[in-house]
Amino acid sequence: MNSVLKIILQRLALGLLTLFIVSIVIFTAVNMLPGDFAQAILGQSATPEAVEAIRKDLGLDKGPVTRYFEWLGGALRGDLGNSFAQANFASFVGDDSGVRTSVAQQIAPRFANTMFLAGVTAAIAVPFAVTLGILAALYRNSVFDRVANISTLTSISSPEFFMAYVLILFLAVLNPILPSLSNIYDGMSFGERLEKTLLPALTLTLVVTAHMMRMTRAAIINLLASPYIEMARLKGIKPMRVIVRHALPNALAPIINVIALNLAYLITGVVVVEVVFVYPGIGQLFVDSVKIRDIPVVQACCLIFAAAYILLNLLADILSILSNPRLRHPK
Amino acid sequence: MSGLATIVVALVAIGIVAWVGRFAMQKISGNAPKFRDMPFAVAFGYVLAAVLVALGVWYFFQPKANEQGIQNAGVIFFRWAVQGVLIGMVAAWIFRFLGRMVGTSGSRKLFRQMPLTASFGILVIVVYAVLAIFAGLIAPHGQETVFAQANVVPGGNPALGGNPDFPLGTDQIGRDILSRLIYGAQNTVGIAFATTLIAFFIGGTLGFLAATLQGWLDQVLSRAVDVLMAIPSLIFSLLLITVASAWVSGFGLTIAMVLIIAVIDSTRVFRLARAVGMNIVVMDYIEAAKLRGEGLGYLIFKEILPNATAPLLAEFGLRFCFVFLTISALSFLGVGIQPPLADWGTMVRDLSAFINYASFAPLAASVPLLAAGAIALLTVAVNFVVDWMLYRSSGLKE
Amino acid sequence: MSDTGELLVEMRGIHMEGRSDETWNPIIKGVDLTLNKGEVLGLIGESGAGKSTLGLAAMGFTRDGVRISQGSVMFDGIDLLAASADQKRALLGKRIAYVAQSAAASFNPAHKLIDQHSEAPVQHGVMSRTESEQDGMELYRKLRLPNPEQIGFRYPHQVSGGQLQRAMTAMAMSCRPDLIIFDEPTTALDVTTQIEVLASIRDIVEQFGTAAIYITHDLAVVAQMADRIKVLLKGDEVEEAETREMLSNPQQDYTKSLWAVREFQRPQKPAVLTDATPVISVQGVTAAYGKVDVLHDVSFDIHEGRTVAVVGESGSGKSTTARCITGLLPPRLGQIELDGQVLPLDYRKRNKDQLRQVQMIYQMADTALNPRTRIGDIIGRPVQFYGGLTGKDKRKRVEELLDQIELPAAQYFDRLPSELSGGQKQRIGIARALAAEPKFIICDEVTSALDQLVAEGILRLLARLQDDLKLSYMFITHDLATVRSIADEVVVMKDGVVVEQGPKTDMFKPPHHAYTDLLLSSVPEMDPDWLTNLLTERGVDNIGDAAVDKMT
C-alpha cells in the first residue's frame, strides 16, 4: 500500500508543478503583448494622467516577475483582478456611473453554468457510451458493430457546430421540442434550466459519446483477446460473467482514462457549443474577451480551463493506479 | 410524457415480438445453431432494427407537402439526407469498381480488399483535391466579387426568388455562395494541409531525434511537450491568437494562426514520432547498424523512417482532421481565417441565421448546413480512409 | 498410464480452417484422434503444425477466426459439434479442463489464485466455495507448491512462473475432470523449473486417473509424459504409435529425421596452445544496469577457430556479457582484449576496424533484419561500409556471400525479409555478419526460435563456416543439446557469475559443480524412463527450484 501512496503523491506533485509552469506560460504569453494597455483602453484622446492612473491601477508599472506573483497569489485567493472592459475604467475619465466588476465576479456564475452543462452532458454520455462500447465489443464484427463504427466515425469527424445546427434544425425548428437559445438566468427552476441546457448538452453528448464508445470498445476488445479471458471461457463461465468478473476489473483503468480524457475534451468542445446556443458559460465569455482583448479575463479563463484539464488527467491517472492490482498488492 | 409512454410500450412490444420470433425460428429451423444459441438481446436488436428501418421507409414516402400546400420540411430534409447517402454509396461503389478494372496490379489488389467506406473516403478526397487545386477555373465567380442581388435564394428558380446565375444563391452582401464554397476548399483545406505539414516537420524531426539520441535532449523535449499538452489546444490557440492579433491583422493574422496551430499540434506529432521511433530503436537491426558504426543520418533516414511511414501516414490523416476542425472552429468563432478569403467556418457563422427559416424555406436553410457539411464530409472521408489503413496495418502484423 | 480401454474422445476426419486475408485457409486437413479414459496422448509437431488448434477442437472450442469445417468430435457419447452452447459450457471446466502455455498470462491479474481456482467448481455446482478452497490447498500440497495453505491467497503477479504453472494444473483439477488438455505447459520455463513441473503434472494425472492430451514440440518431454504419441506436420497426421514403439522404431521419414536431429556432433578439437593469443579475452568484467551489478568478475578466453558456449538460464547474465564485449554496455570494471589489444569499452569509441572484427547474430531473425530493406542491401551495406566496394564489385561479393549461406543469389537478392522463412532469415543474419569479414562472431541463442530440423541446418552451416574461415564463436544458449553439438569449450553462468568453465568433454563428465550437475541432469532425454529414473535417483526434493534454493 505504501508504494501506491508514494506513486500517487508523486503524480500529485507533478500535476501541481505542471499547473505552475502552465500558469507561467499563460502569463508570459499574455505579457508578450506589445504597446500599452492603458492607452489602448482609453483611446488616443486620453490625458496622460488618466493613462498613468490606469497603469498604476493595473500594476503595469511593476516588473513582470512581481506582477506574476501578485497575479498568482491573487488567483490562489480567488481574486483574478479586474476586467479591462470599458465600463471598469469609467472613473478615470471622469464618469463615475459605471460599477467596477472584478473578473471573479464575472466568471463565477458563468463557471457554474458551464459546470452544469458539462455535468448534464457527462450524466447522459458516460453511461450511454460505456454501455454501447461494451455491446459493440461483445458483438464485434456484427452488423450492429459496423453501423456503430460508421456512425461514430461520422460523429467524431463533424465539427461541433455542424452537429449543433443539425440538432437545432430537427429538434428546435422543424419540430419545436426544445428551445434553440439557452437564455439562462438566476432564479430559474431546475426543470427550466435543464430544458434550456438540453440541446447544447445533446450536441456535446453526440461528439463525446462517439469518442468514448470507440475507445471503450477498443479497450475491451484488446482485453478479450487476452489468454485469461480464453481461460475463463474454457472453464465454462457464462459470457455475462466473463465480461463482468474477468474483463471489467481489468478494463477499468483504460475506461476511466477514456472517460477523463473525454471530459477534458468537453472543455474544448464547450467553447464552440456555448457560442452556437448563446449559452452564458465561461466558454462564451472567453471568446468574447478574446475578441475585445480583455486580458485579465482571457488569462483567468485560460487558467481555469487548463486547471480543469490537468486535474481531470490527474484524476484519471490516480484512479487507474488504484485499479491496478499489481500496484495495489506489491510482491 | 405521452411520448415517453409510447416509447416504453413500443420497446415492450418489440421485446415480445423478439422472444416469440426467436422461439418460432427455433421451431421452424429445427433448432439450427444460429437460432438455438441466439441471446435474447440479439433477437431484440434484430427486431428493433427492422422496426427502425420500416419507420424510415414509411417517413421517406410521406408527401412533401400536405393538402393545404404547406411544405413538410422534415420529410424534405430526410429525403435529401437519404438520397445523399445513397448517391455517395453508389458513387463509392462505381469508383471502387473502376479501381478494380484499371491501374497496376498493386492498385487493383488494393481496391479489391477495400471496404466501401474507404473507397468513398478516397473518392471524396480526390474530389476535394481537384476542387481545391482548380478552384479558380471551376468557380463561376470570384470569391470576393459582390453582386447587386443580396440574399438570393438557392435553387436557381426565379419563381421562388432564385437566380440561375447563382445556383446556391448569394449571401447577405451579395457574394455568390457556390463560388465561395469552391474557393473555401482551396483556402480552408489548403491552409489546414499546410499547417499539418509544418506540424509534422517540426514534431517529426524532434520526435525522431529524441528517440534516437535519447539522454538529456529527449528529457528536455518531452517535459516541454508535457507542459504544452497540459493546456487544451483550442484554448491555447485562442490565447495565442489574441496575443498575435496585437501585432498583425488580416492576412498576417491568418499566417500567425497557421504557425500557432502548427506549433501546438507539433507536440502531438512529437509524442507519436517519439513513441514510434522508440519502438523501432529497440530492434536488433538498429543495434546491428549502431555496432557497424553508422552515423545518425543513416540511422534516421535509412533504418527508422522507412519503418515509421505507415503509422505516420495514418497519424497525418488524423492530425489533418484535427487541424482542419480546429481552424474551422476558430473561423466559426471569428478569429480564424480572416476575410476576404472565403472560408467554410466563417460562412457557417455568417449564414447561420437562415436555419430558422427551415420550416417554410428548406432551401435557404440548407446553405449554412452545406458549408458545415462540406467540413464534415472531408473529415469523415479522411477518417474512413485512416480507419481502414489502421485496420490493415494491425491485421498485417499477425 | 491407467488406461481402462474405455473410449473417451473420438474425433473423426477433422478439417479446420483459419481466416486470413478474407479467405479460409486449411489448418488441419483430416485428422482422426481417439483417446481412452485415463490415457495420456502426446501431440507433437513443429510450430504451425496445428497441434494447439486440434487440442482445443477436442474441447469443442475454436478460437476467433478458426472453424471446424468437417468431421465430428464425440466426448463420452456427446456430440460436441452438435451440442448447444449451454451444453458445451456445462462440460468445459467441469469434465474437460485446459492448461495453457503461459500461466502468467492465463491467470486473471485482478483476482487471487484461490478465487480463480474455486470459480469453476462453484459455477458448475460441484462444490461449495469453502469445500473447493480446502480442496485447492490439498491439490497445491500434492503439486508440491511451497506454503500450500497461503499461496492461494496471493495474486498471480506475486507468484513465480513455475509455481503458477502448477497452480494452473491444480485449477484444471478443481472439478476432477475426465480430460485435461495441456498446451505446451513447460515451454516458457527454464530447464530446472520445467522438470519440477513435469514431475508434479505426471504425478497428479496418474493419481486421479485423468485422461490427457499433452501438446508440445519437445520430443524428450513428451516421451516422459505420454502413453501414445501422435506426430503432426502442417495439419496432417504423420504417424501414431505407443511411446516406446515410436521412440525405438519410427516408421515415417519425417519422424526419423526428427529423431536424428540430436545426433549432429562435431569432433573435439585439439587443445589450444598455452601461449597462443586469444582472439577475444574477457578479463575480470563487472557490469551494472543502473546501480545494480549484474555481472561479477567474469573472465574467459576465446581462441581462433574455436567455439565457446556460454550456458545458463534466463537472468544468468550471458546476454549481458555479450553486450559488454560489443561495447553496448561498457563494463564498470575489467577490460576486453581483441588479439591482445585492449578494446575501448564503449562501442562509440572503437574504430571501424575494431567494430568490423566483432559481429553479432541475433536470436530473433524477425527483429534483426530491417523489414523494409531488400536482402541484397542488407548484406551489401557492410560490404560497402567496411570494404568500400560499390556497383558490380559489391553485387559480386553479396552473391558470393549468399552462395556461402546456401541461398541462390538470383532468387533471393531482391526479396524482402518478410518473404523468407525463419531459417532463411537467420541465414541472412549470418551473411550480414560474414560480410564484415570478422574474426569473431557472437551467436545469441541463434537456434532457439527455430524448429529443430531448421536449427540443425543452421548449426551445420555455422560449423562449416568456422572451418572454412577460421572464425571464433561465442555461442550463447540455454539448450545443452546445442552445446553438445557445436561447442569446443563451455562456460556455465549463474546469477552473473561464471560457475564453471573448461573443454566440452570435461564438462559432460563428472565431477561437476553442483549447479552444472543440476543443469545437466534437468535436460530431458529421449528415454521414456528418464524422469522416473531421475526421480528415484535424486528424490523429488533434489530437482528444480527446490535444489537451487538448497545451493544458496
What is the per-residue pLDDT across A154-170, written as a single tens digit (0 to 9) for each? Answer: 888 888 888 888 888 88
Q: How confident is the model at residue C3 (pLDDT cuts 50, 70, 90)?
A: low
| Alpha-carbon dihedral angle through residues A158, A161, A165, A171, given to the nearest 10 degrees | 90
Among the listed residues C122, C98, C105, C103, the one whose alpha carbon sits nearest the alpha carbon of residue C172? C98
What value does the CA radius of gyration of chain C take, rounded to a whole number of Å? Answer: 26
Q: Please tell me which chains touch A, using 3 or more CB pairs under 8 Å as the contact test.
A: B, C
Question: Nearest by CB to A228, which of C88, C97, C107?
Answer: C107
Q: How far is A34 from chain B (nearest CA, A)?
A: 7
**Which is nearest to C331 in space by CA: C316, C314, C343?**
C343
Q: Which residues of B touch C416 (CB under 8 A)?
A: none
Report the range of poorest mean pLDDT among A243-247, C268-272, C460-464.
C268-272
Residue in B37, B285, B292 closest to C370 by CB: B285
Q: Do B298 and B208 contact (CB within 8 A), yes or no? A: no
C511 prior amide bond cis, ω within 30: yes
Longest CA pairwise span in chain A (Å):
86
> Nearest Cβ partner of B291 from C326, C364, C367?
C326
Domains of chain C: 7-259 (3.40.50.300), 280-523 (3.40.50.300)
Q: For C84, which of B37, B283, B292 is closest by C-beta distance?
A: B37
Neighbours of B294 (CB within 10 A): 17
* Distance from the Cα of residue B309 to its chain's centroid: 22
Full DSSP string of C165-192: HHHHHHHHHTT--SEEEEESTTTTS-HH
pLDDT band, very low/low/confident/very high, at C421 (cuts 50, 70, 90):
confident
Give the pLDDT band of residue C116 (cuts 50, 70, 90).
very high
Kindly indicate the confidence band of residue C309, based on its pLDDT and cuts at 50, 70 and 90.
very high
CB contact under 8 A, A154 and B328: no
Please give the average per-residue pLDDT across C159-182, as a whole number: 89
Q: Output the nine-digit C-alpha cell for C93.
A: 471446466
- Rounded mean pLDDT, B357-384: 84
Nearest chain C residue (CA) to B396: C21
Residue C2 confidence (pLDDT) above 60: no
Give the minimum alpha-carbon distance from A148 to chain B in angstroms, rounded to a whole number: 13
Which chains does chain B touch, 3 or more C-beta pairs < 8 A? A, C
Query: Given an 8 Å threshold on Cβ–Cβ distance, is C108 in contact with A326?
Result: no
Across the range C262-285, mean pLDDT stands at 79
Query: Between chains, do A161 and B372 touch, taking CB under 8 Å as contact?
Result: yes
Task: Please name each of the domains of chain B with its CATH number.
Answer: 3-59 (no CATH), 177-394 (1.10.3720.10)
Give the confidence band of B156 by pLDDT, cuts at 50, 70, 90: low
Amino acid at A192: E
Above 70 in pLDDT, residue C338?
Answer: yes
Phi, psi of A136 (to 5 degrees): -65, -35
pLDDT band at C243 (very low <50, low <70, confident <90, very high): confident
- Which of C91, C94, C155 shows the shortest C-beta gap to A329? C155
- Give C99's strand partners: C182
Angle at C226 between CA C194 and CA C235, to 5 degrees: 95
Please report the sign of the dihedral spanned by the C-alpha atoms of residue A45, residue A50, residue A56, residue A57: negative
What DSSP state is assigned to residue B159?
A: G
> Helices marked H in chain A — which ranges?
2-31, 37-42, 48-58, 64-77, 103-138, 143-157, 160-167, 190-224, 227-234, 239-241, 248-277, 282-292, 295-322, 325-328
Q: What integer pLDDT is reported at residue C475 of this predicted model? A: 92
Q: What is the mean pLDDT of residues A77-99?
A: 57
Q: So what's the pLDDT on residue A99?
A: 52
* Maximal C-alpha separation, chain C: 78
User: Cβ–Cβ of B355/A168 closer than 8 Å?
Assistant: yes
C50 vs C55: CA distance, rounded Å: 9
Which of A116-125, C31-40, C186-195 shows the lowest per-residue confidence on average (mean pLDDT)? C186-195
Q: Does C176 lie at the interface with A, CB-CB under 8 angstroms?
A: no
Of C84, C355, C360, the CB nearest to B293: C355
- Output the pLDDT for position B398: 33
Cβ C34 vs Cβ C11: under 8 Å:
yes
Task: Please identify which residue in the block is written with the cell numbers 462517439.
Answer: A210
Q: How far is it, in rounded angstroms, from Cα C489 to Cα C507?
A: 8
Residues in chain C, total: 552
Using CB atoms, pick whichever of A232, A236, A331 lies closest to residue C158: A331
Which residues between 231 and 290 in chain B have a beta carbon less than 8 angstroms from any beta carbon of chain A?
A: 231-236, 238-243, 245-247
Chain B residues touching residue C328 (CB < 8 angstroms): 287, 290-291
The CA–CA distances, whole Å, from B149 to B174, B183, B344, B363, C379 equal 5, 20, 21, 17, 72
Q: Is C370's Cβ below 8 Å from some Cβ in B? A: yes
A329 neighbourhood in chain C, CB within 8 Å:
154-155, 157-158
Looking at chain A, the domain(s) classified CATH 1.10.3720.10 span 109-291
Whole-number Å distance between alpha carbons of C10 and C39: 13
Q: Among A144-148, C4-8, C183-187, C257-261, which is the least confidently predicted range?
A: C257-261
Helix, strand or coil for residue A137?
helix
Nearest Cβ partner of A165 from B39, B245, B368?
Answer: B368
Give the rounded percent of residues in chain C with a pLDDT score beyond 70: 97
Span B67-88, mean pLDDT?
82
Q: Do C385 and B294 touch (CB under 8 A)?
A: yes
**pLDDT for residue A262 is more than 70:** yes
Chains that touch C (3 or more CB pairs under 8 A): A, B
> C16 in helix, strand or coil?
strand
The distance of A142 to chain C (nearest Cα, Å) reads 13
Distance of CA C386 to the CA centre of its chain: 36
Average pLDDT value for residue range A285-313: 84
Tell how strand C341-342 and strand C228-233 pair up. unpaired
Q: Do B383 and A156 touch (CB under 8 A)?
A: yes
Question: Would you place residue B159 in the very low, low, confident or very high pLDDT band (cuts 50, 70, 90)?
Answer: low
Picking from C130, C125, C116, C10, the residue whose alpha carbon sits closest to that of residue C73 is C10
pLDDT in tens, C345-369: 998 899 989 999 999 999 888 889 9
pLDDT bracket for residue C99 (50, 70, 90): very high
pLDDT of residue A305: 87
Give the number of other CB atoms < 10 A from CB of residue A177.
12
Q: Mean pLDDT throughout A297-311?
A: 86
With CA atoms as reference, the chain A residue closest to C107 would be: A228
Preferred mutation among A290, A292, A297 to probe B, highest tally of B CBs within 10 A: A290
Which residue from A34, A165, A291 is facing B334, i.e. has the nearest CB?
A: A291
C98–A contact, CB cutoff 8 A: yes
CB of B222 less than 8 A from some CB of A: no
Looking at the structure, give the CATH architecture of the domain made up of residues A109-291. Answer: Orthogonal Bundle (1.10)
Mean pLDDT to the nearest integer, C6-32 = 86
* Greatest extent of chain B over all pairs of C-alpha atoms, in Å: 86
Reply yes or no on whether the pLDDT at A315 is more than 90. Answer: no
pLDDT of residue A44: 58
* Residues A153, B373: C-beta atoms closer than 8 Å: no
Q: Is C85 on the interface with B (CB under 8 A)?
A: yes
CB contact under 8 A, C110 and A249: yes
Query: One-letter amino acid identity for B243?
Result: V
Residue B280 exposure: Cα atoms within 13 Å on the Cβ side = 32
Task: Inspect the interface and report whether the beta carbons of A250 and C92 lie closer than 8 Å.
Answer: no
Task: Report CA-CA distances (Å) from C54 to A93, C10, C66, C131, C214.
Answer: 91, 12, 11, 34, 11
| Residues of B in Cβ contact (< 8 Å) with C383 | none
What Cα–Cα distance (Å) separates residue C82 from each residue in B34, B37, C27, C54, C180? Answer: 12, 11, 21, 17, 21
Contact C109 A228 (CB under 8 A): yes
CB-based contact A277:A283 (threshold 8 Å): no
Cα distance between the two ends of chain B:
53
Chain B nearest-CA residue for A282: B235
Q: Name the CA dihedral angle for C27, C32, C38, C44, rounded to a multiple of 10 degrees.
A: -40
H or E stretch at C31: strand C23-36
Q: What is the dihedral of CA B323, B327, B333, B339, to 10 degrees?
A: 180
Better-scored residue on pLDDT, B36 or C434: C434
Cell of C430: 549470418
Q: Closest residue of B to A310, CA-based?
A: B230
Query: What residues of chain B lie within 8 A of the CB of A26, using their CB?
Result: 231, 239
pLDDT in tens, B307-328: 888 888 888 988 999 899 999 9
Mean pLDDT of C72-82: 88
Beta strand pairing call for C307-311 and C489-494: parallel
Question: Which among B36, B287, B306 has CB closest to C372?
Answer: B306
Nearest to residue A100, comparing CAs of A114, A85, A111? A85
**Strand (E) or helix (H) holding B88:** helix B73-101
Interface test with C, best of B22, B36, B282, B284 (most C CBs within 10 A): B284
At residue B397 the predicted structure's pLDDT band, cuts being 50, 70 and 90, is very low
Pairing of strands C440-444, C280-289: unpaired
Relative orientation angle of helices A295-322 and A2-31, to the nearest 10 degrees: 160
C-alpha distances out from residue B365 to A200, B38, B153, B343, C397, Å: 20, 46, 10, 18, 73
- What pLDDT sits at residue C114? 92
Please tell me the pTM assigned to this model. 0.84
ipTM value of the model?
Answer: 0.84
Model confidence pLDDT, tens digit, residues B44-67: 888 999 999 999 999 888 887 777
**8 A C-beta contact, residue C142 and residue C176:** no
**Cis before B340? omega within 30:** yes
- For residue range C198-242, list pLDDT tens digits in order: 888 888 888 888 999 999 888 888 888 899 999 998 888 888 888
Cα(C444)–Cα(C428) distance, integer angstroms: 15
Contacts of C182 (CB under 8 A, 6+ apart): C99, C201, C212, C213, C214, C215, C216, C225
3-state helix, strand, coil in chain C (%, to 5): 40, 25, 35
